[in-house]
Amino acid sequence: MNKPAFGLIGIGGFAREHYNTLRYFESEGWLRLAAVCDPFIGEQPELEREVRAGGVRIYHDHRAMLESEAGLRAVVVATPILLHEEMLLDCLGSGLFIYLEKPPVPLASQLQRLIEADRRGQVSVGFQMVDSDWNQQIKSWIAEGRLGEIREIRVVANWPRYDGYYRRASWAGQLVQGDRPVFDGPATNALAHLIHSAMYFGGAEKAEFARPVTVQGEMYRVRPIPSYDLMCLRAGLPSGATVFAALSHAQQTPAPYRVEVIGSEGWCSVSEEHKILESSFGAFTLREMPSGMLHDGYVSFCQWLRGQRERPTTRLADAEGYVWTTNALLASSGGIHTVDPRWYRTCEDAPGRIYDVHGLSEALADGRPLLYSERELPWSVEPTVVPVENTAEWRGRMDRTFQVVTGGGQAKEGAAAEFVTAG
């Protein structure tokens, strides 16, 4: 069987994981890595030598790679978030299958443009968590009705981030860079998988993703960055189920992610820490992925490429629930609220400085699906409830709210109320 030729756009930062994973699948006979594009690869001379030694051609402009590599079957876009829209539009013109690293784009209006441009259904969005064994098992139970009617989905995590995390790239911790949206933060980057997985579990059918009808949530900045590093939300789904999320980078003690799905006939939960899928049907040990966290996502993508799957797990339209939720979250919060220094401490240890918010550790650990304001934490601000609509008007209002927030970091009074009163 001919091995499909892949091109990789981006090889620095997390994109290095994509390079390593592609090399693994190449060694297993699944594909051939033909070309890599990164304008800054020269800053990593050892990696550049390794790439060239493997017979992989190097480009510094993705358009040049797309024009020159006529034999490509697929391309992986693993660049910073702010470049996704432009690069994906360029790749769509090539007729290739496209693996787009998550999150797809920051704003609902951007996602709509990409959905309309992807007329042939060439794009798979790299929310790799939905392809994991435990995620697929939970989804099977939901689709089979073993959990009954889904009533609540909860996702909670704290992944501490030190100073170096925000120094690693110019866009880290930013809302915008130049005129391009970034919207970096736990729910919109590092822990975005959890929000997307919650929307997956909210869909009743095997391939269905839910979209929210209402969102109520809070966003905070603890460290001095333009964007946020702490959030919580509650989203209402068309089925009547609710999604609760509390995600953070602003607590010293790590809280490995925990996912819970509660139905009328059963429940299940999984923890990153324990690596066990627990349920009302028993407990199951999760397998280790042979090539790291990207493994199952690439298996799914390659099977789709071979015609062994009818569709990718996450199409662009399937990411609507995730993007709509995070957009409405910003509006509901009324912008990003700065936590007063009275309510946090800074900690210095071997990796560097980290921020630790008063009351957050207990809030993340006790299991109750309460917003921070409902816990009456002294630094919290009560949000509004924002209705979500699949309309150009709603997406336009979200754009305007984002512009208000990025103009001054904090939404002007009434920016969120526009959504509430317009519904």
pLDDT, one tens digit per residue, over 359-386 is: 999 999 998 999 999 999 999 999 999 9
Q: Looking at the structure, do residues 162 and 70 belong to the same domain, yes or no?
A: no
Q: Looking at the structure, do residues 344 and 389 belong to the same domain, yes or no?
A: yes
Q: Is residue 295 domain-resident?
A: no
CATH of residue 86's domain is 3.40.50.720
From residue 313, how far is each of 47, 122, 198, 247, 317 by CA, in Å?
31, 12, 14, 24, 11
- Tell me: pLDDT of 287 over 90: no
In this predicted structure, what is the pLDDT of residue 272?
A: 81
Q: Is residue 305 domain-resident?
A: no
The structure tokens 């999760």 sit at 286
Distance CA 126, CA 315 (A): 9
Q: What angle do CA 272, 304, 63 make, to 5 degrees?
A: 95
CATH of residue 146's domain is 3.30.360.10
In this predicted structure, what is the pLDDT of residue 421?
A: 40
Using an 8 Å Cβ cutoff, are 29 and 97 in contact? no
- Reduce the secondary structure of 211-268 to three states and give it as a string: CCCEEEEEEEECCCCCCCCEEEEEEECCCCCEEEEEEECCCCCCEEEEEEEEECCCEE
Q: Amino acid letter at 87?
A: M
Which has the higher per-residue pLDDT, 1 or 35? 35
192: Cβ contacts below 8 Å, ≥ 6 apart: 102, 103, 127, 322, 326
Q: Looking at the structure, do residues 256 and 162 belong to the same domain, yes or no?
A: yes
Q: Looking at the structure, do residues 98 and 169 belong to the same domain, yes or no?
A: no
Q: Amino acid letter at 365?
A: A
Q: Is residue 143 domain-resident?
A: yes
In this predicted structure, what is the pLDDT of residue 349?
A: 79
Average pLDDT of the chain to the nearest whole number: 94
Q: Looking at the structure, do residues 181 and 214 belong to the same domain, yes or no?
A: yes
In this predicted structure, what is the pLDDT of residue 291?
A: 61
Task: State how many domains the chain has.
Answer: 2
Q: Is residue 196 domain-resident?
A: yes
Using an 8 Å Cβ cutoff, are 232 and 246 in contact? yes
Beta bridge partners of 124: 99
- Tell me: pLDDT of 202 over 50: yes
Q: Is residue 301 domain-resident?
A: no
Q: Is residue 291 domain-resident?
A: no
Using an 8 Å Cβ cutoff, are 164 and 230 in contact? no
Q: 84: which 2 tokens?
A: 């996704």
Q: Looking at the structure, do residues 122 and 164 belong to the same domain, yes or no?
A: no
Q: Looking at the structure, do residues 91 and 146 belong to the same domain, yes or no?
A: no
Domain end point (choices 75, 100, 129): 129
Encode pLDDT of 58-108 as tens digits.
999 999 999 999 999 999 999 999 999 999 999 998 999 999 999 999 999
Q: Looking at the structure, do residues 370 and 257 belong to the same domain, yes or no?
A: yes
Which one, of 235, 255, 256, lies nearest residue 150 by Cα? 235
Q: Looking at the structure, do residues 146 and 112 belong to the same domain, yes or no?
A: no
Q: Looking at the structure, do residues 204 and 345 belong to the same domain, yes or no?
A: yes
Element (H or E) spanning 57, and its range?
A: strand 57-59
> How many angstroms separate the first and last alpha carbons of the chain?
55
Domain that holds residue 78: 5-129
Domain end point (choices 129, 154, 188): 129
- Tell me: pLDDT of 423 over 50: no
Q: Looking at the structure, do residues 199 and 59 belong to the same domain, yes or no?
A: no
Q: Is residue 308 domain-resident?
A: no
Q: What angle do CA 272, 273, 279 make, to 5 degrees?
A: 70
Mean pLDDT of 21-35: 97
Q: Looking at the structure, do residues 148 and 43 belong to the same domain, yes or no?
A: no
Distance CA 153, CA 157 (A): 14
Distance CA 401, CA 329 (A): 11
Provide the 3-class DSSP secondary structure of residue 153: strand
Percent of the chain with pLDDT over 90: 89
Domain end point (choices 79, 109, 129): 129
Q: Is residue 417 domain-resident?
A: yes
Provide the 3-class DSSP secondary structure of residue 341: helix
In this predicted structure, what is the pLDDT of residue 275?
A: 80
Encode pLDDT of 383-418 as tens digits.
999 999 999 999 999 999 999 999 855 554 445 555
Mean pLDDT of 252-262: 95
- Tell me: pLDDT of 236 over 70: yes
Q: With bands split at pLDDT 50, 70 and 90, how would you rate the model's confidence at 288?
A: confident
